[in-house]
Amino acid sequence: MKKYIKITETALGSISVGSDDRSHLHRTAKDVVSMVEAYLSDAKRFFAHGAYVDAFACVNYAHGWLDAGARIGLYKVTKNRELFTID
């Protein structure tokens, strides 16, 4: 679990949301980041309490949200091949 949490944290740290905070896509990208942060937090909490299946599910949801956002172009990403399903 620690490995997967770290991978998702790294992926989250590698994205950048555009600077035009008035656009709908900017707000959507921020919403996606909020979802990722919430699922990642839940994953850590479940892991700390020994609920490993729930932790694994949450970290996968978190990374799935990140990957989907990257795939549809909500934000710029670095380390593409290592962390996302885009080139």
Count structural domains, the chain: 1
Domain of residue 17, CATH code: 1.20.1270.90
pLDDT tens, position by position, 24-68: 888 899 999 999 999 999 999 999 999 999 999 999 999 999 999
The answer to whether residue 87 scores a pLDDT higher than 70 is no
Q: Which of 67, 72, 74, 73 is nearest to 12 (CA)?
A: 67
Q: Which domain holds residue 56?
A: 2-83
What's the predicted TM-score (pTM) here?
A: 0.87
